[in-house]
Structure 1
Amino acid sequence: MTLSFKSLGLSEACVAHLDHLDFKTPTPIQAQAIPHLLSGRDVVGRAQTGTGKTAAFALPMLEQIDVGDRSLQALVLTPTRELALQVYQAIQLFNTDRRLQILTVYGGQSVERQVSRLRKGVQMVVGTPGRVLDLLGRGDLKLDKLNWLVLDEADEMLNMGFIKDVETILNQAPAERQTAFFSATMDPVIRELSAKFLRSPVTVTIDQPKAAPNRINQVAYLIPKGWTKARALQPILELEDPESALIFVRTRRAAAELTRQLQAAGHSVDEYHGDLSQSQRERLLLRFRQRQVRWVVATDIAARGLHVEDLTHVINYDLPDSLESYVHRIGRTGRAGKEGIAISLVHPLDKRKLRDIERHIRQKLEWGTIPTRAEIEARYIDKLKSRVQEALTGERMASFLPIVSQLSEEFEPRMIAAAALQMAYDQTRPSWMRVEPEATDDDRRPSRPSGGGSRTPQTKSRRPKINRVSEPSSPSRS
C-alpha cells in the first residue's frame, strides 16, 4: 500500500495544499516522523541531507500553531544563515494561513529590524544560535509561551562549535514543550543532548541501502604526476561544460584564487566563503539560482544550506576530511528524481581517503581519464551541430538567405556553410583551444589507476596545451 500525506494524519487543507505543490508521496523520514510529532511525542530523526527533513517537522508545527495568538510558539535553530533562509522559505511554501508570522534571525542582518518584527508579534522564529542568544539576552525574544523547539542539522551545530549555545537556549525554553532533533549523523554529544533535553523521544532512523544515491554518477580523476589540480580541472570542466556546479575547496583562500583563475579562463564562476558579507552571499545565491553565474567555488562551512534546484554537477576539488561531508556534498545534485554528476580530483596521496569513501558509501567510484584536446573539440563540434539543426527549423533563418544567394554566385553553397560553421565554432570554443598545441612526446595522457572502469577510452592522443591555471595555495581554513 502506497503511503499518502492524508494517511499520516495531516488535515484535508494541508493535504490539498501539498497536492497543489505536487507533493504526492511522503519521504521515509516524513512518513515516520510526522505521525509521532502530530501525537505530541519528542522525536530524534536521523536522515541524510535532501531527504525531506524540513517538511517532516514543519508540517506538524503548521497544523498546531495558534495563529490567533501573536506570541512566539515555535523556534527552529539552524547552524548557518543560509540554512535558516532555506528552512524559512520551505515553511512559507507549506503555510496556507496568511495570519502566521514567521521571522528569520541571524547575524549580518539589522538586529533593530528583527527586534521591530518581534515586538509586532511573530508565532515562529527560524534562526542561528548566536543571534537567538543575542535577542534572548536583550530581552526581545521571549520563550515563555514556546510550544515547539526544533534543532535542525544537529551534527553541524556540533562541528561548528554551537552546542554550548544550543544548550543555553534549551535551558531557557519551557520544560513543557515538544522538541525535535534532526541530524544526518548521531554523534555521542548529540545523543547526550537529546537524553538531557528530550522527554522519552521516539528515534526515527532512515537507513538507505547506499549512503550515496544511484542517480548520482560518481567519477574520480587521478591527478597526473607533475600536474596541479587546477591544470587537471580545466579540461574536465571544458568537456563536462556543467550547466550549474558547486566546486568544493578546503579553504577560503583556495576558493578566491581558483575563482580568479577560472574567471581569467573565461568561465562564468564566482566564490562563496566565510569572508563574504551577508549581502554579498545573498546576491551571489540569487545570481546562482537565476543562472546568471553558472559555477560557484565554495568552502564546506560557507556552503552549508546553499541548495540550488537542478544542480547538475558537484566537484570535489579538494576531498573532504569527513566521510559524511562527502555524502552531504554530492547529495546536492541528483535530486527530485534527476540525475547528477559528482567529480572528485584525487591526488595520489588521497587514494586511501578515496577507498574509505567507497567503503562508506558502499559503492565503487568510476575512474575517468583527463580529456584530450581532440575529445574536447569533438564535444564542441557536436554541440555546434545541434545548434545548427535547431537553427534550420527556426524563423530567423530566412533573413540570411539573401546573403547566401549573393555568395553563391562566387562560392559553392557547402563551402559557404563550412565557412559559417568555422566562424561560429571559433567564437564559441575556449580561448586556450584557439592556440595550436606544441606536440611533444612527453605531453601524453597519463594512464589511469588500475581497477574500476574508464570514463573515456585509453588512447595515445597528445595532451592539449592549456593556458595554465596555477595551483591555489592552501592555508587558512574557512
Structure 2
Amino acid sequence: MFSERTAHWWKRCSLFVATQLALNQLSSPPLCYHQFSVLHITCISLTHPARVCSDIAQSPVPPEDTFSPAPFAEQHLMSQPAPSSSSTASRDPRTPSNTPHNSSWKAGLRPPPKDLRPQTEDVTATKGLEFEEMSLRRELLMGIFEAGFEKPSPIQEEAIPIALTKRDVLARAKNGTGKTAAFVIPSLQQIDIDKPKIQALLLVPTRELALQTSQVCKTLGKHMGLQVMVTTGGTTLKDDILRLSETVHVLVGTPGRILDLAGKGVADLSECPVFVMDEADKLLSPEFAPVMEQLLSFLPADRQVMLFSATFPMIVKDFKDKHMRSPYEINLMDELTLRGVTQYYAFVEERQKVHCLNTLFSKLQINQSIIFCNSTNRVELLAKKVTELGYSCFYSHAKMLQSHRNRVFHDFRNGVSRNLVCSDLLTRGIDIQAVNVVINFDFPKNSETYLHRIGRSGRFGHLGLAINLVTYEDRFNLYKIEQELGTEIQPIPQNIDRGLYTAPAPAPVPVQAQAQRTGPPAPPQIPQQLQYQPQPVYNGQIPMRPNGGLPPQAQPMRAQPAYRGGVPVGR
C-alpha cells in the first residue's frame, strides 16, 4: 500500500510526535486510560495505518467515570497550569515581571543573620508595600533579599514605584533611612544587560561615598550579570580608560573625574537614560555647580533625573526649575533629626577637650565612634593624642593620599579600629552600622554640617548618641542650630543611660526550659553588654563581631598605639 520511502518518512514522523507527546506529559499527572489509548493510536497510525481500525475495534471501552468527551488536546491544555509572567522574566532578564505568590525561589537564598536591634519609626512607619509588589525582576529581588533587606523603608516605598515610571524624582529624607537603595534599585531595574552602553550615571560628592555606592550596586545586582564601575579623582586615568573600553552598565563617581572622562570621549553618556545625584545639595553647591552644568550637556535630553538628599537649599530649586521635568517631590522630613539619636552638649574650655574625651571613652559603651574636627591639622593632632592615651584610633582627611584614605575607610568599616577621627570628609552618606557614638570635638558652624555629622550614628532607625564639646565661642552656633533644626540639645548628664544608644541584651533562656532541651542546666550566660570594659587599643589580628564591632575581650590594655605617620598600622 505504501512505498518503502513513504513508510520511512511515516516512521520518522512517528518518533518525533511520540517524543513530543511524552515530553509534554512529564510535568502533568499520569496518563489516564483514554489518553494512553489516543497516544498509542497516534503512533501506530503513522507507521502502520492498516492496523488502526482493528486496534480501535479491539480496544476496551474505558469506564464512564474516567472518560470525557473533550478531545485529548483540549484536556491536555486544561491539565497544564497557565504560564506566568515570572517564568518569562527568568528567561529574559530584561523583562520586568511580578513575582509569583509562591516564594519557593527564596529557598536557595543566603541572607545575612537578621539584625534584632530595635528600630525607630524613621524606617518602620511604612504603608505595608513589599518589594515583591514593585514589579521588580526576580534577579534583582534575589540580590535585595540576600543583602538583608526585608521590607522597604518609607523613602524606598515612596521613591521606587515612582522612579520605575521613569519620572523625575526630587526626594528628601533623613540620613540613614535607606536613600541609597531608593535610587539604586530603580536604576538597576532599567538596565538592559544586552546593551553594552552606560545606562545609569550615579554622582556622589566624595570618593568614599562613591566606593560605598558602587558596592551597593554590585551587591543588589549580583544576580543580574551587570557591570558596575567606580571612578574618582586620586586614581590613575589610564586604568579608567582601560576599564571603559569594556562593557559598563552603571557608572558611579565624583563629578570632576566623570567630566574628564566624558570630555575626552572615553565615557559615552549619549545613551544614558538614568542620571542620579546623591547628596544633591552638596553637588549643586558653588564648588561643583560649573562642573555639573558641563556634565549635563553630555547626557541625552530625555534623561530621567533623580535628586536625593537630607537637606535642600534654594540652589536645588534653581536646578529643578532649569533641568527637571515636572519632578515628583517627596519630603519625609517632618522633623530634621533622627529619632533614635540622643544629643548632648558639654561646655568645656579648649584645653579641657582632650581630658573630656578621655572621660567619655572610659564611661561610654562605644562599639565604634567617629570624632569630628573642623580642620585637617586638628584631625592629625587629635588622632595622635588619642593613641597616646592608649585607645585604638585611625584618622582620615582630604589631604591624605587616596590609597591611604581607602585603606582607613575599609579597615574601619571592617572593625579593625574602634575610633575614627576625621574632618567633614565623612559627614555625607557614609554608612557604618557599628557606629553608635558621634563626638563633635569641634562644634560645627552651620546646621547642615551638624545634621550630616550626627547622622553617622543611629543608622537605619537604630539607636545612637551625639555628644558636642562646646566652648564659649560656640554658644551662639549652638543656639542657632537648635532653632534651625527645631531640636533640643540637652546638657550632658552625670551618667548616660546605655539604653539610649545600645541595643538591649537578648532575653535569657529560662533554666528549666534550657534543661528540657539540653539536659543539665548550663552556667548562666552573661550578656555581652555586661562584659564590656573601657575601650583599650587593639594589638595585632583580632576576631570580629558579626555586626562589625570589636569584642572587648580581644583588646588588651595599653598596647602600642595604632598611629604612625598618617597611616594606621598594626593590621
- Quickly say closer, same or farther: Cα 1:20–1:280, change in 2 above 3 A: closer
Cα deviation for residue 237 of structure 1 reads 2.0
State the 1:169 CA deviation.
0.5
The residue that corresponds to 1:199 in the other structure is 325
Assess, with a 3 A threshold, how the Cα gap between structure 1 residues 81 and 235 changes in structure 2: closer, same or farther: same
Quickly say closer, same or farther: Cα 1:33–1:428, change in 2 above 3 A: closer
Q: Distance between the aligned counterparts of 1:20 and 1:182, measured in 2?
A: 25
1:132 to 258, 268, 273: 258
| Contact 2:158 2:330 survives alignment (8 Å) | yes
Q: Which amino acid aligns with 2:231?
A: V
In structure 2, the partner of 1:23 is 149
Partner deviation per Cα, 1:6-61 (whole Å, 9 max, x = no partner)? 33343444345433433222122211111111111111112222121111111112
Structure 1 residue 189: deviation in Å? 1.8
Match of 2:302 in 1: 176
* Aligned equivalents of 1:269, 1:334: Cα separation in 2: 21
Inter-partner Cα distance in structure 2 for 1:290 and 1:337: 21
Residue 86 (structure 1) aligned to one of 194, 212, 220: 212
Query: For 2:430, which of 286, 306, 311 is the aligned residue?
Result: 306
* Aligned 1:256-335 pairs, distance under 5 A: 256-335=380-459
Preserved CA contact (<8 Å) 1:235 1:370: no
Alignment match, 2:470: 346
Choose the corresponding residue for 2:374, options 244, 250, 254: 250
Report what 2:342 is aligned to: 217
CA distance in 2, matches of 1:46, 1:344: 26
- Asked whether the equivalents of residues 234 and 402 of structure 2 are also in contact (C-alpha less than 8 Å), the reply is yes
SS state of the match for residue 75, structure 1? strand
Counterparts of 2:162 and 2:463 in 1: how far apart (Å)?
A: 33
Partners of 1:162 and 1:269 in 2: how far apart?
A: 32
Structure 2 length normalisation: TM-score? Answer: 0.62
Pairs within 5 Å for 1:113-192 = 113-159=239-285, 161-192=287-318
Give the match's secondary structure for 1:312.
strand
Q: Distance in 2 between matches of 1:113 and 1:316?
A: 38
Where do 5+ consecutive residues of structure 2 fail to align? Answer: 1-126, 496-522, 526-554, 560-571
Give secondary structure in 1 for the equivalent of 2:460: coil
Which piece of structure 1 moves more, 262-271 or 179-188?
A: 179-188
RMSD: 2.4
Find the aligned partners of 1:335 and 1:193 in 2 and give their Cα distance.
29
Q: Quick check: 2:203–2:253 contact (8 Å CA) kept in 1?
A: yes
Determine the C-alpha separation between the residues in 2 that align with 1:429 and 1:179.
52
Q: Secondary structure at the match of 2:425?
A: helix
Which of residues 221, 233, 238 in structure 2 aligns to 1:107?
Answer: 233
> Residue 8 of structure 1 contacts residue 35 of structure 1 at CA under 8 Å; is this kept in 2?
yes
Cα drift, residue 160 of structure 1 = 6.6
State the distance in 1 between where 2:166 and 2:556 align. Answer: 60
Deviations 1:438-460 (A, max 9, x none): xxxxxxxxxxxxxxxxxxxxxxx
| Alpha-carbon contact 1:248-1:317 (below 8 Å) kept | yes
Query: Given that residues 394 and 419 in structure 2 are in contact (C-alpha distance below 8 angstroms), is that contact kept between their aligned partners in structure 1?
Result: yes
**One-letter identity of the residue aligned with 1:311:** V
> Does the Cα contact within 8 Å between 2:140 and 2:223 map onto a contact in 1?
no
Which position in structure 1 is the counterpart of 2:163? 37
| Residue type of the alignment partner of 1:93 | T
The alpha-carbon distance between structure 1 residues 92 and 358, as it changes in their structure 2 partners (threshold 3 A), is same
Q: Quote how far apart the aligned CAs of 1:393 are.
A: 8.0
State the alpha-carbon separation in 2 of the partners of residues 331 and 243 from structure 1: 16
* Structure 2 partner of 1:476: none
Counterparts of 2:460 and 2:314, CA distance in 1: 32
**What TM-score, normalized by structure 1, do the two folds share?**
0.74
Kindly indicate whether the alpha-carbon contact (under 8 Å) linking 2:446 and 2:477 is maintained by their aligned counterparts in 1. no
Contact 2:169/2:305 (CA < 8 Å) preserved in 1? yes
Residue 339 and residue 42 in structure 1: after superposition, are their counterparts in 2 closer, same or farther (change >3 A)?
A: same
| Higher relative contact order (CA closer than 8 Å, sequence separation 6+) | 1
What fraction of aligned residue pairs are identical, expressed as a percent?
A: 34
* 3-state DSSP of counterpart to 1:36: helix
Q: Which residue of 2 aligns with 1:63?
A: 189
Secondary structure at the counterpart of residue 276 of structure 2: strand
Deviation digits for residues 135-159 of structure 1 (CA, Å, limit 9, x no counterpart) = 1122111112111111111111234
- Given that 1:82 and 1:304 are in contact with CA atoms closer than 8 Å, whether structure 2 keeps it comes out as no
Equivalent position of 1:377 in the other structure: none
- Aligned amino acid, residue 343 of structure 2: Q
Provide the C-alpha distance between the structure 2 equivalents of 1:165 and 1:27, rounded to a whole number of angstroms: 33
* Contact kept in structure 2, 1:104 and 1:126, CA below 8 Å: yes
Cα distance in 2 for residues equivalent to 1:132 and 1:240: 43
Answer with 255-264 or 194-203: which moved more: 194-203
Cα displacement (A) at 1:83: 0.9
Decide which of 350, 353, 359 is 1:229's aligned counterpart: 353
Name 2:90's counterpart in structure 1. none
Question: What SS does structure 1 have at the residue aligned with 2:133?
Answer: helix
Q: What's the CA shift string for 1:110-157, capped at 9, x where partnerless?
A: 211111111112111001111011111221111121111111111112
CA distance in 2, matches of 1:193, 1:240: 44
For the residue of structure 2 that corresponds to 1:267, the secondary structure is: coil
Q: How does 1:431-470 map to 2 (within 5 A)?
A: none
The whole-number CA distance in structure 2 between the counterparts of 1:81 and 1:369 is 38
For the pair shown, the structure with the greater C-alpha radius of gyration is 2
1:77 paired residue number: 203
Q: Deviations over 1:201-222 (max 9, x none)?
A: 11111123x3222321222111
In structure 1, what is the Cα distance between the partners aligned to 2:415 and 2:222?
A: 29
Contact in 1 for aligned 2:372/2:442 (Cα 8 Å): yes
Relative to 1, partners in 2 of residues 1:47 and 1:193: Cα closer, same or farther, differing over 3 Å? same
- CA deviation profile, 1:168-225 (whole Å, cap 9, x unmatched): 11122110221111122222222111221112211111123x322232122211115x
Question: Does the 8 Å CA contact 1:79/1:160 hold for their aligned counterparts?
Answer: no
Quick one: distance in 2 between partners of 1:107 and 1:254?
Answer: 24
Kindly provide the amino acid, as one letter, of the partner of residue 348 in structure 2: I
Distance 1:192 1:175 in 2: 18
1:295-351 deviation line (CA, Å, top 9, x unaligned): 111101355443322102100111112212212111111123432111110112322
